[in-house]
Amino acid sequence: MIDIDVRDLPAADRTAAPWKNGGGVTREIFCHPQGADMTDFAWRVSLAEVAADGPFSAFPGVDRTLTMADGDGMELTVADRSVLVDSPYVPQDLPGDVATDCRLLGAGNVVNLNVMWRRDALPVAPSVAVVRGRLEVGPEATLVVALGEEGAEIAGRVLGRYDAALVAGVAPLHATGPTAVVPVPAGPPSA
Protein backbone atom coordinates (compact mmCIF):
# COMPACT_ATOMS: atom_id res chain seq x y z
CA MET A 1 0.00 0.00 0.00
CA ILE A 2 1.28 3.47 -0.93
CA ASP A 3 1.46 6.00 1.87
CA ILE A 4 -0.41 9.27 1.38
CA ASP A 5 1.30 12.47 2.45
CA VAL A 6 -0.94 15.55 2.66
CA ARG A 7 0.28 19.09 3.28
CA ASP A 8 -2.54 21.48 4.18
CA LEU A 9 -2.37 24.93 2.58
CA PRO A 10 -5.28 26.84 4.17
CA ALA A 11 -6.56 30.07 2.64
CA ALA A 12 -6.46 31.76 6.05
CA ASP A 13 -2.65 31.43 6.15
CA ARG A 14 -2.06 33.37 2.92
CA THR A 15 -0.91 36.97 2.93
CA ALA A 16 -2.01 39.41 0.23
CA ALA A 17 0.92 40.80 -1.74
CA PRO A 18 0.75 43.54 -4.37
CA TRP A 19 1.06 42.53 -8.00
CA LYS A 20 4.44 42.99 -9.57
CA ASN A 21 3.00 46.10 -11.32
CA GLY A 22 0.94 47.23 -8.29
CA GLY A 23 -2.43 46.81 -10.08
CA GLY A 24 -3.96 44.21 -7.77
CA VAL A 25 -3.12 41.66 -5.09
CA THR A 26 -2.12 38.02 -5.16
CA ARG A 27 -2.12 35.30 -2.54
CA GLU A 28 0.44 32.59 -3.16
CA ILE A 29 -0.79 29.03 -2.67
CA PHE A 30 2.37 27.18 -3.67
CA CYS A 31 5.68 28.01 -5.29
CA HIS A 32 8.62 25.96 -6.53
CA PRO A 33 11.32 26.25 -5.50
CA GLN A 34 9.97 27.04 -2.07
CA GLY A 35 10.82 30.60 -1.06
CA ALA A 36 11.33 31.80 -4.64
CA ASP A 37 10.14 35.30 -5.42
CA MET A 38 8.38 36.70 -8.50
CA THR A 39 11.63 36.81 -10.47
CA ASP A 40 13.01 33.31 -9.89
CA PHE A 41 10.14 30.83 -9.45
CA ALA A 42 10.04 27.77 -11.72
CA TRP A 43 6.29 27.44 -11.28
CA ARG A 44 3.77 29.12 -9.03
CA VAL A 45 0.09 28.81 -8.11
CA SER A 46 -1.82 31.75 -6.65
CA LEU A 47 -5.18 33.45 -6.34
CA ALA A 48 -5.21 36.94 -7.82
CA GLU A 49 -7.83 39.59 -7.11
CA VAL A 50 -8.54 42.03 -9.92
CA ALA A 51 -10.30 45.12 -8.56
CA ALA A 52 -9.98 47.55 -11.48
CA ASP A 53 -9.34 47.82 -15.19
CA GLY A 54 -5.68 47.98 -16.20
CA PRO A 55 -2.64 46.07 -17.34
CA PHE A 56 -1.53 42.67 -16.05
CA SER A 57 2.05 42.36 -14.83
CA ALA A 58 4.52 41.13 -17.46
CA PHE A 59 6.54 37.99 -16.72
CA PRO A 60 9.31 37.40 -19.28
CA GLY A 61 9.64 33.73 -20.30
CA VAL A 62 6.50 32.75 -18.35
CA ASP A 63 3.20 31.21 -19.45
CA ARG A 64 0.06 30.97 -17.35
CA THR A 65 -3.23 29.17 -17.07
CA LEU A 66 -5.86 31.54 -15.67
CA THR A 67 -9.14 30.20 -14.25
CA MET A 68 -11.81 32.64 -13.08
CA ALA A 69 -13.15 31.52 -9.70
CA ASP A 70 -15.37 34.47 -8.76
CA GLY A 71 -16.82 37.64 -10.27
CA ASP A 72 -18.56 38.81 -13.42
CA GLY A 73 -15.57 38.30 -15.68
CA MET A 74 -13.04 40.24 -17.71
CA GLU A 75 -12.27 41.12 -21.26
CA LEU A 76 -8.54 40.77 -21.85
CA THR A 77 -6.59 42.25 -24.72
CA VAL A 78 -3.55 40.02 -25.20
CA ALA A 79 -1.33 41.80 -27.74
CA ASP A 80 -4.00 42.48 -30.42
CA ARG A 81 -6.25 39.52 -29.54
CA SER A 82 -9.42 39.79 -27.45
CA VAL A 83 -9.97 37.06 -24.85
CA LEU A 84 -13.30 36.95 -23.02
CA VAL A 85 -13.10 35.46 -19.52
CA ASP A 86 -16.75 35.35 -18.49
CA SER A 87 -17.34 31.71 -17.52
CA PRO A 88 -16.16 30.53 -14.12
CA TYR A 89 -13.96 27.47 -13.75
CA VAL A 90 -12.78 27.36 -17.39
CA PRO A 91 -8.93 27.27 -17.57
CA GLN A 92 -7.47 29.54 -20.26
CA ASP A 93 -3.84 29.53 -21.38
CA LEU A 94 -2.16 32.92 -21.82
CA PRO A 95 1.41 34.08 -22.41
CA GLY A 96 2.77 35.90 -19.37
CA ASP A 97 5.23 38.02 -21.32
CA VAL A 98 2.83 39.59 -23.82
CA ALA A 99 1.22 42.95 -23.02
CA THR A 100 -2.19 42.15 -21.50
CA ASP A 101 -4.83 44.72 -20.57
CA CYS A 102 -7.96 43.94 -18.56
CA ARG A 103 -11.45 45.43 -18.57
CA LEU A 104 -13.79 44.17 -15.86
CA LEU A 105 -17.27 43.18 -17.04
CA GLY A 106 -19.01 43.96 -13.74
CA ALA A 107 -18.77 46.20 -10.70
CA GLY A 108 -17.09 43.80 -8.28
CA ASN A 109 -13.71 42.12 -8.00
CA VAL A 110 -12.73 39.10 -10.08
CA VAL A 111 -10.73 36.30 -8.44
CA ASN A 112 -8.54 34.15 -10.68
CA LEU A 113 -6.56 31.00 -9.99
CA ASN A 114 -3.21 31.46 -11.73
CA VAL A 115 -0.83 28.64 -12.55
CA MET A 116 2.38 30.18 -13.90
CA TRP A 117 5.57 28.50 -15.10
CA ARG A 118 8.84 29.38 -16.77
CA ARG A 119 9.15 27.83 -20.20
CA ASP A 120 12.83 27.03 -19.67
CA ALA A 121 12.26 25.41 -16.26
CA LEU A 122 9.69 22.74 -17.17
CA PRO A 123 9.79 20.17 -19.99
CA VAL A 124 5.99 20.40 -20.42
CA ALA A 125 3.33 22.86 -19.29
CA PRO A 126 1.48 21.95 -16.08
CA SER A 127 -2.06 20.71 -16.59
CA VAL A 128 -5.00 22.36 -14.87
CA ALA A 129 -8.42 20.72 -14.61
CA VAL A 130 -11.49 21.87 -12.70
CA VAL A 131 -13.54 18.90 -11.54
CA ARG A 132 -16.62 17.96 -9.53
CA GLY A 133 -17.47 14.56 -8.16
CA ARG A 134 -15.40 11.65 -6.91
CA LEU A 135 -12.05 10.61 -8.32
CA GLU A 136 -8.57 9.56 -7.30
CA VAL A 137 -5.54 11.80 -7.65
CA GLY A 138 -1.92 10.67 -7.79
CA PRO A 139 0.30 8.77 -7.50
CA GLU A 140 2.40 11.79 -8.51
CA ALA A 141 2.22 14.83 -6.24
CA THR A 142 -0.95 16.85 -6.91
CA LEU A 143 -2.12 20.28 -5.78
CA VAL A 144 -5.87 20.45 -5.07
CA VAL A 145 -7.62 23.84 -4.62
CA ALA A 146 -11.31 24.13 -3.66
CA LEU A 147 -12.70 26.96 -5.80
CA GLY A 148 -16.40 26.80 -4.93
CA GLU A 149 -18.23 27.59 -1.72
CA GLU A 150 -19.20 23.90 -1.48
CA GLY A 151 -15.55 22.96 -0.86
CA ALA A 152 -13.98 19.54 -1.28
CA GLU A 153 -12.57 16.62 0.70
CA ILE A 154 -9.19 15.05 -0.06
CA ALA A 155 -7.75 12.08 1.83
CA GLY A 156 -10.13 12.73 4.74
CA ARG A 157 -9.34 16.46 4.98
CA VAL A 158 -12.12 18.99 4.42
CA LEU A 159 -11.24 22.01 2.27
CA GLY A 160 -13.28 25.20 2.43
CA ARG A 161 -13.37 27.72 -0.40
CA TYR A 162 -9.83 28.56 -1.59
CA ASP A 163 -8.22 26.06 0.81
CA ALA A 164 -5.64 23.81 -0.85
CA ALA A 165 -3.74 20.61 -0.17
CA LEU A 166 -0.57 19.20 -1.68
CA VAL A 167 -1.01 15.43 -1.90
CA ALA A 168 1.66 12.81 -2.62
CA GLY A 169 0.34 9.32 -3.31
CA VAL A 170 -2.99 8.00 -4.51
CA ALA A 171 -5.78 9.76 -2.62
CA PRO A 172 -9.56 9.92 -2.91
CA LEU A 173 -10.96 13.34 -3.82
CA HIS A 174 -14.61 14.28 -3.34
CA ALA A 175 -15.06 17.60 -5.09
CA THR A 176 -18.43 18.74 -3.77
CA GLY A 177 -17.95 22.02 -5.63
CA PRO A 178 -15.61 23.06 -8.43
CA THR A 179 -12.08 22.04 -7.50
CA ALA A 180 -8.82 22.68 -9.36
CA VAL A 181 -6.51 19.69 -9.76
CA VAL A 182 -2.92 20.53 -10.75
CA PRO A 183 -0.41 17.67 -10.96
CA VAL A 184 2.93 18.94 -9.66
CA PRO A 185 5.14 19.36 -12.72
CA ALA A 186 8.41 17.49 -13.04
CA GLY A 187 11.56 19.58 -13.20
CA PRO A 188 13.82 19.98 -16.19
CA PRO A 189 15.24 16.78 -17.65
CA SER A 190 18.67 15.74 -16.36
CA ALA A 191 21.61 16.66 -18.55
Q: What is the mean pLDDT of the chain?
A: 90
Whole-structure pTM value = 0.91
What pLDDT, on a 0 to 100 scale, did the predictor assign at position 187? Answer: 53
Does the pLDDT value for residue 63 go beyond 70?
A: yes
Tens of pLDDT, residue by residue over 110-164, are 999 999 999 998 888 899 999 999 999 988 899 999 999 999 999 999 999 999 9
Alpha carbons 57 and 98: distance in angstroms, whole number: 9
